[in-house]
């Protein structure tokens, strides 16, 4: 425990010391994605919007899927929107993290570069899109549902937990990919499964009893559920669920961080 504390505090102080680098990386990443395109950051809004509309068309218009009762809304679009936002943040960060270390090989081998900062910068960069999505969702809720509750204040808490979890996974995959370039391929397969097995288009209650454990062992399921509860239903997540989510997040963050720290020493040799 003592060891974890030392590692953790030196890690945090290092982050604070390198905040200029972090800020620069985030700005660079954000610009890089939209540099040279006429619509610029608008694409950041268009992509999820198209995704949302397409899924809504298939599930709501074609298959006539409705949100389960007590969701706080009848609109499948809103139901999907609230659920898919945290998932997209997670997926985007992890997917971009996987190649982040390899792509920065010249920084790592030619400069004194704190590579652990990369997944963090990617998460923060993704967070900007996330805020945009949240703002649009809140605007719709405010206008159409006219019900915004105090539980919205819990969303930032989940955001922090999501950050810890996502960055932990980001560290794991980005470091693995240095040694095993198959990681990127494997990850996209895993993420596809993960996406469809997470209750985003459905609710965990829809799952047959036999397979309901899928939602219980899936940290993202708790976050998705919490986003919906806080934003749409106006309900606090069960305290046990919150504790469990926090546990998942901390374990991922610590395990990913220690793994990254341990494997990092070989980066210079491999890259």
Partner 1 sequence: MSAAVVMEKVSKSYPVYGSPAERFKELLALGRRTYHRDFWALRDVSFEIERGSTFSILGENGAGKSTLLQLVAGILRPTLGRLEVSGRVSALLELGSGFNPEFSGRENVFLNGAILGLSNREIERRYPQIVDFAEIGDFINQPVRTYSSGMVVRLAFAVAINVDPEILLVDEALAVGDIYFRQRCMRKIHELHRAGVTILFVTHNIADVKSLATRAMWLADGRIVELGDPERVVSRFQAAMVNKDARYLRQHAQAEAPAAGEVFASRPAELVEKIPNIDFRYGTGRAQVLGIAVMNQRGEEIGLLPPGETIVIRVSVRAQQEMPQPIVGFMLRNHLGVDFSGTNTALEGLEMPPLRPGEALTVDFLLALPELYPGHFSFSPAIANGTLEGYEMCDWIDNAVTLQMEKRREMYGYFRLPCQVELRGVRVVSAECGVRSAEH
Q: Which residues of this protein are in contact with partner 1, per CB under 8 A?
A: 18-21, 23-25, 27-28, 31-32, 35-36, 106-113, 176, 179-181, 262-263, 265-266, 268-270
Closest contact distance (angstroms) between CB of 40 and partner 1 is: 14
User: Toward partner 1, which CB reaches closer, 179 or 196?
Assistant: 179
Closest contact distance (angstroms) between CB of 24 and partner 1 is: 4
User: Toward partner 1, which CB reaches closer, 10 or 205?
Assistant: 10
User: Toward partner 1, which CB reaches closer, 79 or 123?
Assistant: 123
- How many Å apart are CA 212 and CA 71, to the nearest integer? 19
Closest contact distance (angstroms) between CB of 116 and partner 1 is: 14
Angle in degrees, CA 22, 176, 15, rounded to 5 = 20
Closest contact distance (angstroms) between CB of 264 and partner 1 is: 10
User: Toward partner 1, which CB reaches closer, 243 or 270?
Assistant: 270
Contacts of 138 (CB under 8 A, 6+ apart): 148, 152, 231
User: Toward partner 1, which CB reaches closer, 91 or 183?
Assistant: 183
User: Toward partner 1, which CB reaches closer, 20 or 211?
Assistant: 20
- How many Å apart are CA 84 and CA 231, to the nearest integer? 13
Closest contact distance (angstroms) between CB of 30 and partner 1 is: 12
Closest contact distance (angstroms) between CB of 34 and partner 1 is: 11
């Amino acid at each position: 425990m003592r060891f974890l504390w030392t590692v953790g505090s030196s890690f945090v102080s290092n982050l604070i010391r390198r905040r200029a680098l972090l800020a620069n990386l985030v700005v660079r990443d954000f610009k890089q994605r939209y540099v040279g395109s006429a619509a610029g950051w608008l694409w950041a809004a268009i992509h999820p919007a198209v995704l949302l509309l397409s899924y809504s068309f298939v599930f709501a218009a074609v298959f006539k899927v409705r949100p389960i009762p007590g969701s706080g809304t009848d609109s499948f679009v809103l139901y999907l929107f609230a659920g898919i936002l945290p998932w997209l943040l997670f997926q985007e960060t992890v997917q971009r993290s996987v190649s982040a270390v390899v792509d920065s090989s010249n920084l790592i081998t030619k400069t004194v570069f704190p590579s652990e900062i990369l997944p963090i910068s990617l998460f923060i960069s993704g967070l900007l899109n996330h805020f945009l999505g949240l703002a649009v969702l809140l605007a719709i809720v405010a206008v159409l549902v006219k019900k915004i509750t105090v539980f919205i204040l819990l969303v930032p808490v989940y955001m922090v937990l999501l950050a810890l979890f996502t960055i932990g996974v980001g560290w794991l995959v980005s470091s693995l990919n240095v040694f095993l370039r198959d990681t990127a391929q494997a990850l996209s397969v895993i993420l596809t499964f993960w996406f469809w097995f997470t209750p985003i288009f459905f609710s965990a209650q829809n799952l047959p009893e036999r397979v309901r454990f899928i939602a219980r062992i899936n940290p993202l399921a708790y976050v998705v559920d919490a986003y919906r509860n806080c934003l749409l239903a106006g309900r606090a997540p069960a305290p046990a669920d919150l504790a469990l989510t926090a546990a998942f997040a901390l374990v991922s963050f610590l395990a990913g961080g220690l793994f990254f720290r341990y494997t990092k020493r070989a980066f210079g040799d491999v890259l």
